């Protein structure tokens, strides 16, 4: 909604792809591809396509008139087709007769939406790869660094910061894969004409459909899907999982950056995260962006799902509800991915504080380990009670868990001093943490290899836009 907030909550590249002018150009590209496909299949005269392609440039449009026409007609395709027809007529009145031939507004708007989703979605996948790389570097570097494990917001038992980062890594990679899959499924054109029968194309319907799709680098759906919205809905849902996953990472970072914890901090940069009143503060801005996205995205996903029951051949209101919501989902998820790729890539980690915190609290954090050391002898529940008693003594003050346990004959009857000490050593209580981290990193490496191999082979996205000389330059980089 707001221009001055766009860069904070979004990603500049994705926002450029979603900008009004870029999107209107995309609709024009779709009209041009349609004319070319129909000319190729003999549905319209061959001579009609070049003038339509030539006129299909945003520079020729009157955007204010378009906005007014949209409010009047009820969708932007109608005034856009009128303006395009008039532009073609100025150079070739005969060709003007064939603008938007056999199509309905929704054919153009949905296909342009697919192109936008693919273009923005691909960029989000890249940002998620960056974020995963950042998490992987943290997982590797801190694979052996103990940190307080925390459950239900209470200090619990030791983990490693590497394991924590590996958990972030796994979530990001899976969410990325889910999005990639949903994008792949949704990579199809929309073309059905007024009611989905391709009636105006006579027997050429399937051939035009094929040609139209090829020219845009998109796939051919079995059937028009004007009122069957599962594909965009599944993309929206996948974006929801991405935003939630990034929100989890952001929440962890923000909690670890609290003054009392201070185990990590978002990187310092000039002017970044300042307070307007408190020079002692360094606000975790990247996390704020991702947390805000994780709060806003679910409601938008719900909107797309709630809008799915669209009436008959093309719906009233449900389809309209998607127009701004899908771009907003892309915008917010892209912003979240951008923010967290930045946070993970530059996170400041204070391994010393982590170590220190584990030692604080009189060794309380080793209580579970102590109980498990006792359990084979006295049973798990009895062990929990014995150690619980010792913890209460620690809480009452003046002793440590180690001392309290050494004082307890129910403990010393079963555990030799050396075994007790071993049980109370955080570094020996990390279980399979390093194995689990290694496993996550191995999978990450395998994925990176696959990514490199496929790089440069993706030519399908927003090709109609990219091959148009009038396309905005930000989409060429």
Which residues participate in catalysis according to the annotation? 275, 314
- Interactions with a copy of itself, residue window 114-143 (CB under 8 A): none
* One-character DSSP codes across 29-68: HHHHHHHHHHHHTTSS-GGGHHHHHHH--GGG--HHHHHH
Size of the residue set binding a copy of itself (CB under 8 A) = 197
Query: Can residue 476 be called a binding residue for a copy of itself (CB under 8 A)?
Result: no
Length of the chain: 477
- For residue 403, how many other CB atoms are within 10 A of its CB? 15
Q: Which is nearer to a copy of itself, 418 or 455 (CB)?
A: 418
| List 183, 391, 402, 405, residue binding a copy of itself (CB under 8 A) | 391
Query: Can residue 425 be called a binding residue for a copy of itself (CB under 8 A)?
Result: no
Q: Which is nearer to a copy of itself, 288 or 467 (CB)?
A: 288
Contact pattern from residue 49 through residue 68 relative to a copy of itself, giving x for each residue in contact according to CB under 8 A and a dash for the rest = --------------x--xxx
Q: Which two tokens stand for residue 171?
A: 């979530």
| List 40, 54, 60, 156, residue binding a copy of itself (CB under 8 A) | 156
> Among candidates 84, 80, 85, 57, which has minimal Cα distance to 70?
80
Cα 117 to chain centroid, rounded: 12
Query: Can residue 448 be called a binding residue for a copy of itself (CB under 8 A)?
Result: no
Query: Can residue 456 be called a binding residue for a copy of itself (CB under 8 A)?
Result: no
Q: Which two tokens stand for residue 9?
A: 């909550």
CB of 472 to a copy of itself, least distance (A): 15
Query: Can residue 413 be called a binding residue for a copy of itself (CB under 8 A)?
Result: no
| List 180, 308, 351, 403, residue binding a copy of itself (CB under 8 A) | 308
Q: Which is nearer to a copy of itself, 255 or 466 (CB)?
A: 255
Query: Can residue 296 be called a binding residue for a copy of itself (CB under 8 A)?
Result: yes
- Interactions with a copy of itself, residue window 176-215 (CB under 8 A): 178, 181, 185, 193-203, 205-206
Query: Can residue 412 be called a binding residue for a copy of itself (CB under 8 A)?
Result: no
CB of 53 to a copy of itself, least distance (A): 17
Query: Can residue 416 be called a binding residue for a copy of itself (CB under 8 A)?
Result: no
CB of 420 to a copy of itself, least distance (A): 15
CA distance 167 to 340: 15
Which range, of 32-40, 270-278, 414-422, 468-476, touches a copy of itself by CB under 8 A?
270-278
Which range, of 110-118, 125-133, 249-257, 459-467, touches a copy of itself by CB under 8 A?
249-257
> Among candidates 324, 289, 283, 331, which has minimal Cα distance to 307?
324
CA distance 269 to 273: 8
CA distance 266 to 273: 9
CA distance 319 to 110: 10
Query: Can residue 11 be called a binding residue for a copy of itself (CB under 8 A)?
Result: no
- Interactions with a copy of itself, residue window 208-247 (CB under 8 A): 221-231, 233-234, 237-238, 240-241, 243-245, 247
- Interactions with a copy of itself, residue window 347-386 (CB under 8 A): 357, 361, 364-365, 367-369, 371-372, 375-376, 378-382, 384-385
Cα atoms found within 13 Å of the Cα of residue 405, Cβ hemisphere only = 33
* Per-residue CA distances from 396 to 357, 382, 402, 404, 406 (Å): 19, 21, 15, 11, 17
CB of 132 to a copy of itself, least distance (A): 13
Q: Which is nearer to a copy of itself, 176 or 215 (CB)?
A: 176
- Interactions with a copy of itself, residue window 313-342 (CB under 8 A): 313-318, 320-321, 323-325, 327-328, 331
Q: Can you point out the beta strands (E) in 43-153? A: 146-151
Beta bridge partners of 158: 148
Long-range CB pairs of 355-361 (<8 Å, 24+ gap) are 355/145, 355/146, 357/147, 357/148, 357/155, 357/261, 357/263, 358/146, 358/147, 358/148, 358/158, 358/426, 361/155, 361/394
């Amino acid at each position: 909604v707001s221009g001055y907030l766009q860069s904070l909550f979004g990603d500049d590249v994705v926002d450029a792809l979603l900008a009004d002018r870029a999107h209107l150009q995309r609709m024009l590209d779709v009209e041009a591809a349609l004319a070319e496909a129909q000319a190729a299949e003999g549905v319209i005269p061959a001579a009609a396509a070049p003038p339509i392609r030539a006129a299909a440039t945003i520079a020729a449009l009157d955007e204010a008139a378009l906005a007014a026409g949209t409010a009047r007609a009820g969708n932007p395709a109608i005034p856009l087709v009128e303006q395009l027809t008039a532009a073609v007529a100025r150079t070739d009145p005969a060709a003007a007769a064939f603008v938007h031939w056999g199509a309905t507004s929704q054919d153009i708007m949905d296909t342009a939406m697919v192109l936008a989703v693919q273009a923005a979605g691909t960029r989000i996948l890249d940002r998620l790869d960056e974020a995963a790389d950042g998490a992987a570097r943290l997982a590797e570097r801190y694979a052996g660094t103990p940190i307080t494990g925390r459950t239900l917001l209470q200090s619990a038992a030791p983990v490693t910061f590497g394991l924590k980062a590996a958990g972030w890594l796994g979530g990001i990679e899976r969410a990325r894969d889910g999005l990639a899959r949903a994008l792949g499924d949704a990579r199809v054109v929309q073309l059905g004409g007024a009611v989905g029968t391709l009636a105006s194309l006579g027997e050429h319907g399937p051939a035009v459909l094929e040609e139209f799709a090829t020219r845009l680098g998109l796939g051919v759906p079995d059937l028009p899907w004007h009122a069957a919205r599962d594909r965009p809905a599944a993309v929206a849902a996948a974006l929801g999982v991405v935003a939630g996953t990034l929100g989890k990472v952001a929440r962890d970072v923000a909690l670890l950056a609290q003054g009392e914890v201070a185990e990590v901090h978002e990187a310092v940069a000039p002017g970044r995260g300042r307070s307007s009143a408190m020079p002692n503060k360094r606000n975790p801005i990247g996390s704020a962006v991702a947390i805000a996205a994780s709060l806003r995205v679910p409601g938008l996903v719900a909107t797309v799902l709630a809008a799915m029951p669209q009436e008959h051949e093309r719906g009233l209101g449900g389809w309209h509800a998607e127009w701004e919501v899908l771009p907003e989902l892309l915008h917010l998820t892209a912003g979240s991915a951008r923010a967290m790729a930045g946070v993970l890539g530059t996170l400041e980690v204070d391994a010393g504080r982590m170590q220190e915190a584990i030692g604080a609290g009189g060794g309380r954090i080793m209580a579970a380990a102590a109980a498990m050391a006792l359990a084979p002898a006295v049973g798990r529940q009895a062990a929990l009670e014995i150690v619980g008693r010792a913890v209460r003594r620690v809480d009452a003050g003046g002793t440590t868990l180690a001392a309290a346990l050494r004082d307890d004959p129910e403990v010393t009857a079963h555990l030799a001093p050396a075994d007790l000490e071993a049980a109370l050593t955080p570094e020996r209580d990390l279980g399979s943490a390093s194995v689990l981290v290694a496993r996550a990193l191995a999978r990450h490496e395998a994925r990176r290899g696959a990514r490199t191999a496929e790089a440069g082979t993706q030519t399908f996205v927003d090709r109609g836009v990219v091959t148009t000389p009038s396309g905005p330059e930000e989409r060429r980089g």
